Amino acid sequence: MLEIVQQQPVRASLLFVILIMCLIVSACASHRAAPVTEKSRSTQSRPATHTVIPGDTLFSIAWRYGLKYEELARYNGISAPYTIRPSQIIRLPAGSTDTRSASNRKGVQSVSPNTIPKQPNTRVNARPENKTTKPTQSPKPAVNSAAPQWRWPAKGIILSSFQGNNGLNKGIDLSGKLGEPVLAAASGVVVYAGSGLRGYGKLLIIKHNETFLSAYAHNERLRVKEGDLVKVGQVIADMGSSGTDRVKLHFEIRRDGTPVDPLKYLPRR
């Protein structure tokens, strides 16, 4: 009889332990079943609007947010010559928009890598406009939008490689000395020359055709201005350290507004 009484507390303890273990297993299973969301992708989107400041152009705003300026103009109902004003609110398409598909849409104008159409006057003026528009060159006939024959924009070694459209480095960084020449990587027209884009310093953007653009950042001196036609290999700037901590050239290629790896286009050394 005493043995039976002694066994009852033992059995009760075992039942209690088993119950606790069942509850723990159930909780773990419930936790594993919870859906997992990759926030870096689901929340990765540009802001809904951009407020224009003096020095902005429609082109520089489009570059900042990885858009084509033609699409940005259409989205905001802005027609040629694409004039924008300080404090104007520019609506931005949702971040999920894939600008890379733009080249496959019907009606997209295309031009030869060496025949560039005239560019819109998109520069913002800090005061009301009462000025005569400078004459611009007439556009040449459209031919195609094939990739240009690229060449290296500087002689230096690669300091930093392309890290993808969502990475910190949307191009490559090339070493060099202060004042060394920066060369146009392909023929085209200068569509931006200034220092209004944070993190780029003194920046040049060249449009090669309706598909490809290239950018040259951190320059000490810009040797060309907006609207200038440049030839491949032409000196367009002096290398510097504007907007960064050392002398280097930051070089980007964008296809339909999307950053691509320049090493896939530049010739092998």
- Domain assignments of the chain as residue spans, ordered by start: 49-93, 158-264
CATH superfamily of 158-264: Glucose Permease (Domain IIA) (2.70.70.10)
Tell me the pTM. Answer: 0.65
Model pLDDT, residue 244: 95
Identify the pLDDT of residue 176. Answer: 97
Residue 234's pLDDT is what?
98
How far is the C-alpha of 85 from the C-alpha of 219, rounded, in Å? 27
pLDDT value, residue 146: 81
- φ, ψ of residue 185 to 5 degrees: the values are -75, -15
Joined together, the tokens standing for residue 195 give: 């220092």
User: Distance (Å, rounded) from C-alpha 196 to C-alpha 238?
Assistant: 18
| 190: enclosing H helix or E strand | strand 188-194
How far apart, in whole angstroms, are the C-alpha atoms of residue 190 and residue 10? 87
CATH topology for 49-93? Membrane-bound Lytic Murein Transglycosylase D; Chain A (3.10.350)
Residues of the chain with pLDDT under 70: 1-44, 95-144, 165-167
